[in-house]
Amino acid sequence: MSGILKIALKLLVNDKSKFIALLVGITFAVFLMIMMMSMFSGILARSSSSVYNVGAKIWVMDPAVNNATSSIPMPDYVLSHARSIDGVKYAVPIYFGNALVKLKSGTYQAVSVVGLDDATLYGRPELIEGKIEDIYAESAFVVVKDAEFKKLESPKVGTEFEINDYRGLVVGLAKVSSGGLFGIPTVYTTYNRAITYIPSMRFTTSYILIEPKSEADIPFIQQQIKKIGYQALTRDQFVHKISDFYTYQTGMGMNVLMMTAISFIVGLSISGQTFYTFILENLERFGALKAIGAKGHELITMILFQASFTALLGYGLGVGLASGLMILAKLRLPSYAAQVTYTNLIFAFVMVLIMAGVSSYIGVRKVLQIQPFDIFRG
């Protein structure tokens, strides 16, 4: 580190009260921004968990569907049509629904039920206990061992339970890549058993999952599905649609944006004001440095370094604090929906750079205005 930067650093950190105030301001702002954005990212990721967990390349649905859990059942001819399209390797139905499980303790627990195509079991989860073929056994269910697993009183293979007044038998435990958004356990069974156990409307197919012969066939498949009034979306398009729904149609996105903006303004106010006071208190010394022979660009370098150092340190502390709190929260609440993404980190970093930029701009203006003659005049 060059000598002039070392002076700048010592001037900054040796003024402990202001340095701490600056750090607290930026750390607090980063912490709030990261927390808000991470919670939002976590919610968005969880909202698409079914799409990720099933893993199909193309999802066929009613165009009015805007999130995975609110499917609109489709008639059987849609499946037949899908299977008849050139470029479709295979197409299978999948069922998503909810049921009530009566536990041994006598309490009821809502569960999310996924009914897999009987012939192919396409979209099945990875089993960690039991065998997947046992799902064909009478009353068989596979239970997902995720954060909500305990709500079913941690069943084992062979555990019996009641589901919508039918007998249920756990034949396997599975793991999935992403937990659900609504904090209820997930069970898998066959499509036919699912529509038998759960009261349904006239149509029962929640989605049709399509495996195209090649990526190039996807636009044609989408076109053919659209012709009969339905919509075929790739996995990414469906995830995007769900994200858009939660972001724009639920008000959640706007709320998060407002909270992030408020966090930014609070952080900017604290850091800007404190840094400005710091510069004002040292203004005469900067003037003395000018008189001694420091050039304008050297003083600017000092101020930018001070602002950047504080901003980066505050950023690191803020990210660390937010991550630490999320880890703690997840230890206590396994279903806690928050995830730090690179986008969040980059966004918060850019915000912090803006804070540093604005704060140092005010300081630089002041320091460049001070004339050494003012120091002589006192």
Give the footprint of other proteins on this chain (CB under 8 A). Answer: 2-4, 6-7, 10-11, 14-15, 282, 284-285, 287-296, 298, 371-373, 375-378
Per-residue b or e along 68-79, where b marks 16 or more CB atoms closer than 10 Å to that residue's CB: bbebebbeeebb
Q: Which is nearer to other proteins, 226 or 285 (CB)?
A: 285
Residue 4 CB, nearest approach to other proteins (Å): 6
Per-residue b or e along 275-298, where b marks 16 or more CB atoms closer than 10 Å to that residue's CB: beebbeebbeebbebbeeebeeeb
Pairing of strands 186-190, 108-116: parallel
Residue 356 CB, nearest approach to other proteins (Å): 20
Nearest 5°: the CA angle 127, 133, 134 is: 85
Residue 12 CB, nearest approach to other proteins (Å): 8
Residue 1 CB, nearest approach to other proteins (Å): 8
The answer to whether the CB of 250 falls within 8 A of the CB of 13 is no
Q: Which is nearer to other proteins, 213 or 285 (CB)?
A: 285
Residue 376 CB, nearest approach to other proteins (Å): 5
Nearest 5°: the CA angle 265, 319, 178 is: 110
Residue 364 CB, nearest approach to other proteins (Å): 17
Q: Which is nearer to other proteins, 95 or 286 (CB)?
A: 286
Q: Which is nearer to other proteins, 65 or 303 (CB)?
A: 303
Gap between the Cα atoms of 62 and 283, Å rounded: 67
R_g over Cα of the chain: 29
Q: Which is nearer to other proteins, 188 or 286 (CB)?
A: 286
Residue 301 CB, nearest approach to other proteins (Å): 12
Gap between the Cα atoms of 262 and 32, Å rounded: 9
Q: Which is nearer to other proteins, 72 or 288 (CB)?
A: 288
Pairing of strands 140-144, 166-175: parallel
Place of tokens 């295979």: 90
Q: Which residues contact 107 (CB under 8 A, 6 or more apart)?
A: none
Q: Which is nearer to other proteins, 282 or 339 (CB)?
A: 282
Q: Which is nearer to other proteins, 245 or 286 (CB)?
A: 286
Residue 288 CB, nearest approach to other proteins (Å): 4
Gap between the Cα atoms of 65 and 23, Å rounded: 46
- One-character DSSP codes across 95-144: EEEEEEEE-TTS-EEEEEEEEE-TTT-TTPPEEEEE-GGGGGSTTEEEEE
* 8-state DSSP, 149: G
